[in-house]
């Protein structure tokens, strides 16, 4: 079984105290020592999925693994993944600066995004970002201008929209024709001609496409690859351009609940490599360098979130609600996508699952529901709830809604826990607030 097919971190178990532990660390102790809500990352699970990817693609001549930083970006994780041989797909100045400060080799960084600013492009060039995935004609123009001002030629991929629609939530589909991302195939020739004839500070190296996120279908990767390889062959025939890179994006799904059956890294690797070999032979081109951009599947399973249970409410002839000390501000996915999660009570993991309850968040929205219906033991105030598979898109989408501080994050391994993101303080909440002088003058 590939790591992304596991519902829980690989190191999870019940210890002698009768509590859940991850990475040899008792989750109740973590909650007491660091407070809740608390994000917990299992280093063993992260390293395991990295190994899965490297093993799965070892039979293709040249593969560049690029972690999709938007899933979760912090310096400790960047350092860990760089040590595993991964590069980084980034989409903002903040992500660029984070991996830079972590000491990442910036030549292994690819800058993605559909509306990169002048400031972000300038920073990326100054810090030596290795690739730009160019999304539109506006970006072609400004990227060439900024590169010229730096007296540099930058390597680019053209991001195209292949017209493939995967069966995921509509908000995380990116490869279909009606998408904000990428050049339509009918626009590729115009873009290539601009690069060849006018934009001398851009070096076109290949094509990039991304078909979505939380993908369970493998055949769509084969469809995507044939489109990309066919296009590379056509451009060579028409313009004499030898493109030697192909980026197929990421998107492999993970197991959030028992009913989820995602394919493994080995399943998609087999599909991608076979499709590449067939298309290379069919369209008579040399094997390109392959870029893969896993994000969710790298980090999601490794993460859990700990909450402390507080108030409860029994609706007459209706649901039983239990509220936790977090919610939609530290995990936006249930309210945004209708995402489902599973959980255990960290201090009662072996107790009978006697009650069906709804887990509500603490925020002032009726839609702040983390888990709509789950079987759990008899609950009481102070219990520690462990929600699984929260490594991806939880901290990265966290907000200060209701002016609540963002949680801390710890990395656990070998019975040791280390803080990798500090919990925000109340002073952090007001740190960027300003009061105009004219308001201060009104004080009596």
pTM of the model: 0.94
In contact, 108 and 94? CB cutoff 8 Å: no
Q: Which of 110, 160, 127, 120 is nearest to 143 (CA)?
A: 120
Write down the pLDDT at residue 348.
97
Write down the pLDDT at residue 165.
61
**Cis ω on the peptide bond leading into residue 361 (within 30° of 0)?**
no
Residue 320 exposure: Cα atoms within 13 Å on the Cβ side = 11
Write down the pLDDT at residue 280.
96
The beta-carbon contacts of 18-23 under 8 Å, at least 24 apart in sequence, are 18/347, 18/349, 18/350, 19/346, 19/347, 19/349, 20/344, 20/346, 20/347, 20/349, 20/386, 22/304, 22/412, 23/412, 23/413, 23/414, 23/415, 23/416, 23/417
On the 0-12 / 13-18 / 19+ scale of CB atoms within 10 A, 297 is buried
Chain centroid to Cα 104, Å, comes to 18
Domain residue ranges in the chain: 3-41+301-430, 112-294
Domain formed by 112-294, architecture: Alpha-Beta Barrel (3.20)
**What Å distances lie between residue 148 and 53, 141, 363, CA to CA?**
37, 11, 49
Structure token pair of residue 270: 């087999």
Q: Which of 251, 242, 244, 233 is nearest to 292 (CA)?
A: 251
Write down the pLDDT at residue 174.
42
Cα(first)–Cα(last) distance of the chain, in Å?
69
3-41+301-430 and 112-294: identical CATH topology: no
pLDDT averaged over consecutive 10-residue blocks of the chain (444 residues)?
A: 95 98 98 98 98 97 97 98 98 98 98 96 98 96 98 97 60 49 91 96 96 88 93 95 96 94 95 96 96 97 98 92 98 94 97 95 96 96 98 98 98 98 98 94 70
> Which residue is associated with the tokens 């760089």?
82
In contact, 246 and 291? CB cutoff 8 Å: yes
In contact, 396 and 407? CB cutoff 8 Å: no
Largest Cα separation within the chain, whole Å, is 82
Catalytic residues: 364
Burial 79-109 (b: 16+ CB within 10 A, else e): ebbbebebbbbbbbbebbbbbbebebebebb
- Record: fold of 3-41+301-430: Lyase, Ornithine Decarboxylase; Chain A, domain 1 (2.40.37)
Instruction: Measure the CA–CA gap between 362 and 381, rounded to whole angstroms.
Output: 14
């Amino acid at each position: 079984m590939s790591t992304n097919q596991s519902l829980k971190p690989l190191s999870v178990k019940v210890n002698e105290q009768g509590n859940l532990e991850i990475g040899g660390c008792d989750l109740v102790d973590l909650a007491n020592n660091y407070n809740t809500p608390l994000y917990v990352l299992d280093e063993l699970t992260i390293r395991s999925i990295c190994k899965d990817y490297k093993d799965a693609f070892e039979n293709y001549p040249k593969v560049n693994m690029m972690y999709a930083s938007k899933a979760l970006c912090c310096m400790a994780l960047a350092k860990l993944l760089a040590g595993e041989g991964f590069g980084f797909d980034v989409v903002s100045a903040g992500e660029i600066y984070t991996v830079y400060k972590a000491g990442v080799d910036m030549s292994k960084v690819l800058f993605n995004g559909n509306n990169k600013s002048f400031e972000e492009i300038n920073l990326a060039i100054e810090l030596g970002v290795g690739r730009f995935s160019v999304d539109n004609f506006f970006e072609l123009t400004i990227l060439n201008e900024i590169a010229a001002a730096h007296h540099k030629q930058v390597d680019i991929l053209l991001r195209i929209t292949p017209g493939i629609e995967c069966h995921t939530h509509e908000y995380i589909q990116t490869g279909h024709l009606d998408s904000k991302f990428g050049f339509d195939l009918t626009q590729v020739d115009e873009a290539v001609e601009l690069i060849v004839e006018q934009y001398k500070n851009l070096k076109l190296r290949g094509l990039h496409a991304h078909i979505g996120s939380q993908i369970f279908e493998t055949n769509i990767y084969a469809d995507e690859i044939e489109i990309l390889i066919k296009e590379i062959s056509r451009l060579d025939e028409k313009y004499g351009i030898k493109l030697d890179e192909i980026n197929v994006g990421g998107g492999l799904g993970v197991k959030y609940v028992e009913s989820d059956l995602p394919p493994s890294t080995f399943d998609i690797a087999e599909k991608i490599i076979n499709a590449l070999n067939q298309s290379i032979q069919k369209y008579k081109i040399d094997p390109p360098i392959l870029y893969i951009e896993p994000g969710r599947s790298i980090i999601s399973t490794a993460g859990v979130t700990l909450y402390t249970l507080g108030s409860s409410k029994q609706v007459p002839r209706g649901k039983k609600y239990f509220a936790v000390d977090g919610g939609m501000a530290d995990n936006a996915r249930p309210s945004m996508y209708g995402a489902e999660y599973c959980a255990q009570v960290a201090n009662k993991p072996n107790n009978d699952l006697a009650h069906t309850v709804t887990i509500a968040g603490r925020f002032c929205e009726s839609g702040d529901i983390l888990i709509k219906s789950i079987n759990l033991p008899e609950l009481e105030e102070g219990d520690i709830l462990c929600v699984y598979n929260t490594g991806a898109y939880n901290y990265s989408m966290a907000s200060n809604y209701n002016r609540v501080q963002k949680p801390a994050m710890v990395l656990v391994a070998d019975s040791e826990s280390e803080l990798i993101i500090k919990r925000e303080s109340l002073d952090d909440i007001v740190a960027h607030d300003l009061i105009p002088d004219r308001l201060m003058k009104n004080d009596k």
